[in-house]
Amino acid sequence: MENKRILYGDDNEQKKESLARELRLRRLEVDLASTPAETISKARAGNYFAVVTDLNYTEEGTEGYEVLKQLKDLPAKKILYTGQAGFEYVADGFMHGADYVVLSKHEKSLLEVLDKLLKGGEKDGK
């Protein structure tokens, strides 16, 4: 059976639970992490199709870049998901190892990317 496990790292519990609910409705297995260290640890210990990380785990932070950097060698698709807007976030995300960057506060945008990836589409990052 195809690997459909997804790890989602974010400090916002409400956002994590909402996204996890949507992914489970799609019959996907979802694990959640609340800190950059936990996201890195779980990603290294598990066999994930995709690892989604928030950019900001703290008010002024950009910890998601470090998560991406630490997981560059993993075969999982790495997705930076942030409500920040601007080309610099896209460029920095790719520079730090993201396969995809989603600049949106709406989980629908992330779900669309994951749906395309799981169906084998969209070869280039968004």
SS3 for 80? strand
d(CA 101, CA 126): 6
Global pTM value: 0.89
Q: What's the chain's length in residues?
A: 126
- 75-84 residue pLDDT tens: 999 999 988 8
Domain boundaries, the chain: 5-118
Please classify residue 19 by burial: count the beta carbons closer than 10 Å to its beta carbon, then call 0-12 exposed, 13-18 middle and 19+ buried. Answer: buried
CATH of region 5-118? 3.40.50.2300
Please classify residue 22 by burial: count the beta carbons closer than 10 Å to its beta carbon, then call 0-12 exposed, 13-18 middle and 19+ buried. Answer: middle
pLDDT at site 121: 57
d(CA 113, CA 93): 16
